[in-house]
């Protein structure tokens, strides 16, 4: 039964992943990341993603502060933060995040504050969505790892 559960979990994971791919939230870089994960670094993906979330939250906060500061329009700093966010997003394969960053950067270059604020809102929304989905994914993964751990030492053919 547990084995069946594991299979279902994996199926669900795959479904979720393909959904994310289909939506363009993730791209193949994420798969590359998964490839890097092996016995020597079993939690590589979640590690990286956790760092990503920490960093991104910091960047988003900074961006919001910079944008809400009505007196100063520091597009240099905005650009730096955006580049950081963009670089890390493309590293983990968060494609939609990266694309929105690109739009955001274009708006910054045009000094279009309303567009920037709009972009920031979309970016925050997208960030939340990504975070939720990846959390979901990792939860499933953990369960499946637990399931595997239970399953493999035991009798192979339970079905």
Residue ranges binding other proteins (CB under 8 A): 7, 10-11, 14, 17-18, 21-22, 27-29, 31-33, 35-36, 38, 40-41, 44, 47-48, 51-52, 54-55, 80, 83-84, 87-88, 90-93, 102
The total number of residues shown for the chain amounts to 159
Query: What's the sign of the alpha-carbon dihedral 51, 40, 26, 142?
Result: negative
Q: What's the rounded Cα separation, in Å, for the pair 148 and 154?
A: 10
Residue closer to other proteins, measured from CB, 94 or 116: 94
Nearest-10 Cα torsion for 134, 30, 15, 125? 40
- Least separation in angstroms between residue 134's CB and other proteins is 13
Residue closer to other proteins, measured from CB, 41 or 142: 41
Q: What's the rounded Cα separation, in Å, for the pair 53 and 60?
A: 10
- Least separation in angstroms between residue 154's CB and other proteins is 20
Residue closer to other proteins, measured from CB, 70 or 94: 94
Residue closer to other proteins, measured from CB, 70 or 109: 109
- Least separation in angstroms between residue 113's CB and other proteins is 22
Q: If you compute the radius of gyration of the chain from its CA atoms, what whole number of angstroms results?
A: 19
- Least separation in angstroms between residue 18's CB and other proteins is 5
Helix, coil or strand: residue 26: strand
Query: How many Cα atoms are found within 13 Å in the side-chain-facing hemisphere of 15?
Result: 7
Residue closer to other proteins, measured from CB, 60 or 70: 60
- Least separation in angstroms between residue 93's CB and other proteins is 7
Query: What's the sign of the alpha-carbon dihedral 89, 53, 84, 99?
Result: positive
């Amino acid at each position: 039964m547990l084995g069946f559960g594991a299979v279902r979990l994996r199926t669900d994971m795959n479904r979720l992943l393909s959904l994310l791919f289909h939506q363009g939230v993730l791209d193949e870089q994420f798969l590359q990341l998964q490839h890097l994960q092996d016995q020597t670094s079993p939690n590589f993906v979640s590690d990286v993603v956790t760092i990503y979330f920490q960093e991104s939250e910091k960047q988003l906060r900074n961006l919001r502060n910079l944008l809400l500061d009505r007196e100063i329009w520091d597009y240099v700093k905005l650009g730096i933060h955006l580049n950081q966010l963009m670089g890390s997003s493309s590293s983990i394969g968060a494609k939609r995040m990266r694309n929105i960053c690109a739009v955001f950067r274009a708006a910054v270059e045009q000094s279009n504050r309303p567009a920037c604020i709009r972009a920031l809102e979309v970016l925050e929304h997208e960030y939340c969505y990504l975070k939720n989905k990846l959390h979901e994914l990792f939860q499933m993964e953990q369960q499946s790892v637990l399931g595997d751990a239970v399953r493999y030492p035991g009798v192979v053919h339970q079905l």
